[in-house]
A and B are shown apart, each in its own frame.
Chain A
Amino acid sequence: MIEAKHLIKSFDGKKIIKDVSATFEKGKTNLVIGRSGSGKTVFMKLLIGLLAPDSGEILYDGRNLPSMNKNELNALRQEMGMLFQGSALFDSMTVMENVMFPLTMFTRETRQKQEKRAKFCLERVQLKDAADLYPGEISGGMMKRTAIARAIALNPQYLFCDEPNSGLDPKTSLLIDDLIHDITQEYNMTTVINTHDMNSVMNIGDKIIFIYEGKKEWEGTKDEIMSSENKKLNDFLFASDLFRKVRELEQ
């Protein structure tokens, strides 16, 4: 479980995250939704300690990230996996080498055991045949899956995904969503996903937090979201014609 308490972050005097508190639960896919520019990425970077908050606490099962020293932070980071918006694969390495990277960097296992683990992760995301290709040679969906395999290589307890569906077609998006959802349950991870994709919200929104201009406007589950009366949330949800029609049909 990750608890964010009263997080505040400004850049050059401009407040981007305005006193956000939220709880992300274990074994669930926790979604952070909001328009582009609402502060989702900044919020996630605060959570994982890539940015330091101006004030507030971030508790990883009770351990407060902002007050950690370098060693504690590095130890915690080995319990984290992250899926970046553009996949962030190391483009000088093959798919296999990308997945091997955290293993060679952080485990003392034999080479054989590391390779076994890497192959297992690649198989989990159905990428065994692409092991020797470079990121430049595979599709966007395959890059995302490689990034997932790399993120789970060290068996993380916490998984972060920034817009895992950006740039993917709807069918591939669904596949990625399901993969993240399944992995979260399989390994009982605390997963946080930034998205503005309504399909993901309805598909895997175990818990949803809606951010509007740096503030938390609403939270709930995918079952509650369609009947919410929050005006800003509804503006966001039903900006899509399709969803407006779905809602009208339901009512």
Chain B
Amino acid sequence: MQFGRYVLLMQRVFAVPQRWSMFFKQVVQEIYKLGVDSVGIVIFISVFIGAVITMQVSLNINSPLIPSFTVGFITREVILLEFSSSIMCLILAGKVGSNIASELGTMRVTEQIDALEIMGVNSANYLILPKIVAFVLFVPVLVFFSMFFGILGGYFIGWFTSIISAETYEYGLQYWFSAKYIGYSILKSMVFAYIITSIASFFGYNVRGGALQVGKASTKSVVNSSVLILAADVLITLLLV
């Protein structure tokens, strides 16, 4: 039943904007609000996780049979294939998803959405489409930042500790590298970005009641989009690898 209503909402969302100039202005605003505003947390988390993965891997494969550059290789694989797309998007589902759900939910309970409708504005299209377009377009930038700073986090371990040398780490990073992985990760993240924005919009837009319900919608959107991201992750991996 929820799914049917989701499809109906998306049918209203994916319509031609009534005013293109307004639409582009909104997309730019949303890129700032949802995307640029998330750069800081993405960098912060990526550096730390990159560093920790490098440490964990090198401490755990301390075997004479495995060459030590494997550490850089594994760190790269984990960050490029899973962390910077899937895990990053799970984190963003919390930040971006709750932001969208509470904004739309508040607009619903304060009748701002009704005000749009009574003017003859397709409120779903006007409010939701710019968010989806903005985040799907900007998420590759976030993924790119995450990859760069995740790898950099590993370097820090090489530079500042004796767990692994920076040269060995770097050799591992370049070992059997294929740029295809980056494209694959970016593609995945765009699917996840669509999931995050559309699910959060669905729960926010359909709030009924007051501030309490807005909070609940925000929680629901985070939980549901996280589950869907994980399911989509498995599906995409099965299909593309």
Give A contacts to B, CB under 8 Å: 45, 48, 50, 73-75, 77-78, 80, 82, 84-86, 88-91, 101-102, 104-106, 160
Give B contacts to A, CB under 8 Å: 18-19, 22, 110-112, 114-115, 117-121
CB distance B111 to A106 under 8 Å?
Answer: no
A105 partner, pick from B111, B112, B119, beta carbons under 8 A: B119
Which B residue sits closest to A82, measured CB to CB?
B118
CB distance B120 to A106 under 8 Å?
Answer: yes
B115 partner, pick from A45, A75, A78, A82, beta carbons under 8 A: A82
CB distance A88 to B120 under 8 Å?
Answer: no
Q: How far is the CA of A58 from the CA of B18 in the complex (A)?
A: 27
Contacts of A101 in B (CB 8 A): 119
CB distance A106 to B119 under 8 Å?
Answer: yes
Q: How far is the CB of A25 from chain B (nearest CB, A)?
A: 21
Known contacts A77-B119, A82-B118, A88-B115, then 4 further A-B pairs from the complex at CB < 8 Å, ordered by chain A residue? A50-B114, A84-B111, A88-B112, A105-B119
Which B residue sits closest to A90, measured CB to CB?
B112
Q: A88-B112, A91-B112 are in contact. Are A48 and B118 (CB under 8 A)?
A: yes
Contacts of B115 in A (CB 8 A): 82, 84, 88, 90
Q: How far is the CB of A146 from chain B (nearest CB, A)?
A: 12
Q: A89-B112, A90-B112 are in contact. Are A105 and B118 (CB under 8 A)?
A: no
CB distance B120 to A78 under 8 Å?
Answer: yes
Q: How far is the CA of A45 from the CA of B113 in the complex (A)?
A: 13
Q: How far is the CB of A45 from chain B (nearest CB, A)?
A: 8
Q: How far is the CA of A45 from the CA of B111 in the complex (A)?
A: 12
Contacts of B114 in A (CB 8 A): 45, 50, 82, 84, 88
CB distance B22 to A104 under 8 Å?
Answer: yes
Which A residue sits closest to B120, measured CB to CB?
A77
Q: How far is the CA of A88 from the CA of B114 in the complex (A)?
A: 8
Which A residue sits closest to B19, measured CB to CB?
A105
B120 partner, pick from A45, A74, A84, A104, beta carbons under 8 A: A74
Contacts of A105 in B (CB 8 A): 18-19, 22, 119, 121
For the complex of A and B, list the 4 residue pairs with the smallest distance between their C-beta atoms, beginning with the closest: A77-B120, A88-B111, A88-B115, A74-B120
12 inter-chain pairs at a CB distance below 8 angstroms, sorted by A residue, are A50-B114, A78-B119, A82-B118, A84-B115, A88-B110, A88-B112, A88-B114, A89-B112, A90-B115, A91-B112, A102-B119, A106-B120
B118 partner, pick from A50, A86, A91, A104, beta carbons under 8 A: A50
Q: How far is the CA of A89 from the CA of B114 in the complex (A)?
A: 11
Contacts of A88 in B (CB 8 A): 110-112, 114-115
Which A residue sits closest to B25, measured CB to CB?
A104
Contacts of B22 in A (CB 8 A): 104-105
Which of B19, B110, B115 has the most chain A CB atoms inside 10 A of its CB?
B115
Contacts of B111 in A (CB 8 A): 84-86, 88
Contacts of B119 in A (CB 8 A): 77-78, 101-102, 105-106
Q: How far is the CB of A151 from chain B (nearest CB, A)?
A: 9
Contacts of A48 in B (CB 8 A): 118
Q: How far is the CB of A196 from chain B (nearest CB, A)?
A: 18
Which of A82, A88, A90, A106 has the most chain B CB atoms inside 10 A of its CB?
A88
Which B residue sits closest to A102, measured CB to CB?
B119
Q: How far is the CB of A93 from chain B (nearest CB, A)?
A: 10
